[in-house]
Amino acid sequence: MSKSGILTSIYKALTKQKAFIALLVMMIGMLFSKTNFYSAYNLLDMLNSTSILLILAFGVTFTIISGGCDLSIGGNLVVAGILAIKLLDVMPIWLAILIAVLFGAVVGFVNGFLVVQQKTEPFIITLGMGLLLTGVAQQLTDAHPLPAKNPNFMMISNGDFHGIPNLVIIMLVCFGISYWIMRYTQFGRNLYAIGGDYEVARYSGIDVIRTKWMGFVLSGVAAALAGVLLSSKLNTGSPVYGETTALVVNCGVVVGGTSFAGGIGGIPQSGLGLLVFGMLDNVMNMLGITSYYQVLLKGAVIVAIIWMDCFANKRKREAV
């Protein structure tokens, strides 16, 4: 391939991924700012701050790829974190975390049963489940923060390994496992097939119900794990932590290029979408932008990326 052909291929690949362009624009812009944005400490801290959202995004991707969605992750996150803290008083840390994660799997199982087996609307069902779980969290804590008494629990998310935060390490492990499942297993390929065309996948011999159902279970497990890590990071469980989490994560996944229509996207794309939000928060804080304008700018970035993606797809269809 000629040099011009290589450059053309690179250009097409970059313009296809709008989230990557957004990251690139912010990184170039920060070259001209008098801040410590490019310090190793800041970049690692930015990744550490986004790790919990990234873990949530990896789980949600399993449901979105198959043509569903999971808006219960916010409620799942807070209940799992509170449950882990309450269980610390009566059992070892590892067992408390295991039970909390199993709780998340049960929530995902119920979501899957209602959405896949009973053929209900995933948006409405998972939104309702999220509200229900938020109510449960309020009952468990009497709507007050619940502090953790075990200092070892706090160190799970606040410790580090040779200077690399534990949260970043856990996030990278979750990324590796999720990417392997989606890319190299029959289950992952089946999820793409179901999201691409449910009926075609069913007639081709794929167990569409069990496969899509398992996607919701994995999303529930990821949400519960993220909830435990969040409670560990803050050393507190509270029902208010997950108020906007579901919307932010699902929106970030779509911004990264994983389509709500199903069958398009993947774990790296979802990760890029959440990194856009993480870097945007970091950049705005570095530049001293007030919180009111931060919300406005974040919304503008979301709208711009989605519009560019829709416009590019429209041009592609017209060209055909």
Structure tokens at 206: 């794929």
pLDDT given at position 17: 72
Listed in sequence order, the DSSP H helices in the chain are 3-16, 18-29, 40-65, 73-87, 93-112, 122-141, 151-158, 166-184, 186-196, 198-203, 208-234, 245-255, 267-286, 291-319
Residues in the chain, overall count:
320
**Each residue of 87-146: pLDDT tens digit?**
998 999 999 999 999 999 999 999 999 999 888 899 999 999 999 999 999 999 888 888
Three-state SS annotation for 101-138: HHHHHHHHHHHHHHHHHCCCCHHHHHHHHHHHHHHHHH
| Cα distance between residue 189 and residue 191, in whole Å | 5
Lowest mean pLDDT: which of 19-33, 65-79, 182-196?
19-33
Domain coordinates in residue numbering, the chain: 37-288
CATH class of residue range 37-288? mainly alpha
Angle made by CA atoms 65, 210, 117, in degrees to the nearest 5: 95
| Burial grade of 82 (CB within 10 A; 0-12, 13-18, 19 or more) | buried
**Each residue of 272-290: pLDDT tens digit?**
999 999 999 999 999 888 8
Report percent pLDDT > 90 for the chain. Answer: 57
210-224: burial string, b at 16+ Cβ within 10 Å, e else: ebbbbbbbbbbbbbb
Q: Is the model's pLDDT at 241 over the cut of 60?
A: yes
Q: Is the model's pLDDT at 83 over the cut of 80?
A: yes
